[in-house]
Structure 1
């Protein structure tokens, strides 16, 4: 069994749909739900879209085939939605049971999965993609922080700190009183902005995924407190303050150097300080290394606590 982390834009899309199905249960996301509901309402309300919303929101458990667990720490939405095609008829049958509304999935799985993939992608583009840099900064920042805890203190400590309903056992994980044996399966920890106040265990034959509330998700929708920049400049210095503002979206060192009109070496040095203080996080994408600010960095830019 391996314990690792993953950030999933697909899960944030499905979890966002679940929040929109019961917005009164998540008042912390009120600003986002007001914005997202209008965008979701602009999508075609066809039978496949209604089926997606039913599958994603009507029960306490999302069908396993609809939210495959990522195999890597960072996975793009295209890769995740394409993974829907790996769902076998047996997995679909086990997930939907005798639900008559899901009959199209059983009658023609290929057509149904194609339609659901397209609807999932449309929902993602409407309610998650415009805000993904900000969301990803919070999620990746949580991974960085807990990854350090994993290195320093081990898996049991990290799992026991995720949520008050999660408990580590030598061969199993307990969530809300239910014990699930791990066996040889990986356990993937997936931070989420939309899962609070709960956790969600995604069970599959290959790997388990435990979705938990990401640290700092509450800063996502707060309004900036102007004027934040002068105070931030006094705290961090001019270049680091400007750099933290620029890290609203993932950027490479060369992109940041060009936008700030400083050398790449200077950017790398300042990024190292921001990472060391938990304000930014960097990851490799192919041959490039991209950076973005964390939830703590966002709160500092906004002038929050």
Structure 2
């Protein structure tokens, strides 16, 4: 079993739509849901089958292909979706009812309209808060990646959720045993999945979506002025750097914005990463950094 992690903007979009469909079930997201409902209303009624698909008890696997890499953009995921959602796969995932027949009878057109709607929803309710979301998701991966090195895969899986375990060469989820075999097992942290976990079972790889550590403080607000206190705690340059890490940035970009040397930024980033306040990842030929959920909470004065 090859165990790895991934962040999926497509999954967060689908999971967010499921939250909006049952807001009373997700009180932790009430502040976000009130904001997101207004923005989805502005999009108008869903003219596609997307709402019907994402609110099924089990989201059809063809709609949420598992990323092959740790970090992927929404545009790339939407380009990949039609390659996965072939007619045979759609037919196997959906009941044979008139409502879903357009996905088989007018496959390309129906799927293109769903992708367009997914893109519009993502732009409306996920993209504006993505830097905050991604910090929590990437921070969770860093945290569990260290735990993977320390304790091994079975322990990491058992710590994801009370209904998850590993044994007999398979994954146990909600009491069901799913053999892994030679497939990859991809762990996908999510801000919107709590209190559940969600298993995607495909022939190529298994994916387990689980609640990301620190998601509960995503939408909290703090009226506490923290700039001076933060600077006293971690130093003025690191405090400024942590605030700048609201969006993914390279070392050279940060050096320019802060007016310090690249070497100084690198040294401060090493400290922020070591204390769990920031994460770094490679994007093509560049390495970008982003603050974690803990880093966000510190900037906002929510760490007690």
Note the C-alpha offset of 1:151.
1.4
Q: Equivalents in 2 of 1:201, 1:103: separation in Å?
A: 25
| Cross-structure match for 1:84 | 81
- Where structure 1 has 5 or more consecutive residues not aligned to the other structure, the ranges are none
Question: What is the TM-score when the length of structure 2 is the normalising length?
Answer: 0.97
Aligned: 1:64 with 2:67: no
- Residue of structure 2 equivalent to 1:94: 92
5+ unaligned residues in a row in structure 2: which ranges? none
Which residue in the other structure is 1:234 paired with? 232
SS at match of 2:80: helix
* Deviation, structure 1 residue 92: 0.3
Equivalent residue number for residue 286 of structure 2: 288
| CA displacement at 1:46 relative to structure 2 | 4.5
Give the structure 2 partner of residue 36 of structure 1. Answer: 36
Question: How do 1:90-129 residues align onto structure 2 when only pairs under 5 Å count?
Answer: 90-129=88-127
Tell me, in whole angstroms, the C-alpha distance in 1 between the residues paired with 2:66 and 2:32.
25
Partner of 1:300: 298
Counterpart Cα distance in 1 of 2:44 and 2:196 = 31
Does 2:135 align with 1:137? yes
Give the secondary structure class of the aligned counterpart of 1:183: coil
The runs of 4+ residues in structure 1 deviating greater than 2 Å are none
Q: Look up the match of 1:263.
A: 261
The answer for the alignment partner of 1:222 in structure 2 is: 220
Q: Deviations over 1:123-180 (max 9, x none)?
A: 1111101111110010000001101111121101100100011011141000111111
Count of aligned pairs: 302
Query: 2:168 & 2:70 partners in 1: Cα distance?
Result: 24
Distance in structure 2 (CA, Å) of the matches to 1:126 and 1:194: 16
Whether contact under 8 Å (2:46, 2:117) holds in the other structure is: no
The answer to whether the 8 Å contact 1:219/1:298 transfers is no
Equivalent residue in structure 2 for 1:148, among 146, 149, 158: 146
